[in-house]
Amino acid sequence: MLTAVVGINWGDEGKGRMVDLLSRDYDIICRYQGGNNAGHTVVNEKGKFILNLLPSGILRENTVNVMGNGMVIDLEHLCGEIERLREKGIRITPDTLKISDKAIICMPYHKQQDILEEERLAEKKYGSTRRGIAPVYGDKYMKKGIRMGDLLYPGTLEEKIAGIVEWKNLTLKGYGQKVSLENILQWVNEFGKPLIPFIADTTEYLLKSVKNGKNILFEAQLGALRDIDFGIYPYTTSSQTLAAYAPIGAGIPGVKLDKVIGIMKAYSSCVGEGPFTAELFGEEADRLREAGAEYGAATGRPRRVGAFDIPASRYGVWVQGADELALTKLDVLAYMDRIPVCVAYEIDGERVDSFPTGDRLLRAKPVFEYLEGFKTDISGCRTSNDLPKAALRYIRFIEEAVGCPIKYVSVGPGRDDYIEM
């Protein structure tokens, strides 16, 4: 079984906790895009974990975790993340973690360039995590990247880095900055060496695993609306967040997925800039943000929050090709007397049910309807029969509106705090 777990909306939907849950049935978990701009939160019997680079299956002892060629990897951050997990008793060895030799390294100058550009843009900024993601993906397609596999060949590595640093300084000169070759080489040596045992031809490994009938779960970062092609451009990430890209970013482009599981919250949240039509404001937003602990796992930034957005979610389900859905954080809505839902948009005085793009999206205003709140703590519910009727009606309303069955509903942050419908 080859399954992708992907975000339906703007990211932060709860993919990490669902991958952690579902990984019990899979042999291999593979992250296939993005970098340490991810923030996948998992709560289990060992504690609370925030994973930025490592696949969420790393917390299960019997899974192999793969970081695919579609990822960009900050060596220093990865070393720190591995060390933090080891301190909590998580076993991480070359048998449990394999890093693609084709994945691109996110260098210190990528972070430097990211920060400089966001500061230059000032009020027009895109809301970057300032972790170098856009610059490193840009360099990848400019063919100015250093791959993880290059660490295996120190004899030619220094020459490659020297050429790129010379070129990069032409860019940084425009910001009045410069990067030191000596410092970059020292950084690569310090944080690259500990990772060398994990570097592998993951394409060969995954192809053999598919041939041998292994179950593989592909883990996405961010959501459909942040995809570089199909998201709210330019307020997107710099990689492909869609399920269709999973085999490519994992390193096995010739295989086909068997299932796509889309993850979406029972309300909306968003980190960063860009259009967010169903956004709530003032006291209403503050209360929802606090109830849902809506602060970015990667950045700590307060998330923007809003009502469940049907046009956006229906679009996300479609572009992801979702076969079934997981609805997360339903328990957060227990305080509401009435639950707001954005059922459509109004653009230039016209009601619009589909998700627009470009300037039309910027002009969109929400059309809200309100459903009866369930006003009950549902964190102890473990079957659909345990749920209040109003909670079930809310689930069915969303399911019908987005056109895809909801199979899982989370009612708390813990690994076992969910209902299989």
Q: Which helix (H) or strand (E) holds 284?
A: helix 282-291
> 20, 25, 27, 40: which one is catalytic?
40
Q: Which two structure tokens, joined as six digits, stand for 14?
A: 């709860």
Grouping H, G, I as helix, E, B as strand and the rest as coil, residue 132 is coil
Between CA 196 and CA 200 the distance in angstroms is 9
Catalytic site residue 77? no
Catalytic, 40? Answer yes
Alpha-carbon distance of 194 to 86, in angstroms, equals 14
Q: Name residue, tokens 């390193």.
A: 251
CA 37-136-229 angle, 5° bins: 75
Burial class (CB in 10 A: 0-12, 13-18, 19+), 295: middle
The helix/strand/coil state of 35 is: coil
Residue 371: strand, helix, or coil: strand
Task: Give the list of residues 6+ apart from residue 82 with CB closer than 8 angstroms, or none.
Answer: 54, 92, 97
Nearest to 192 by CA among 273, 73, 292: 73
The residues annotated as belonging to the active site are 12, 40
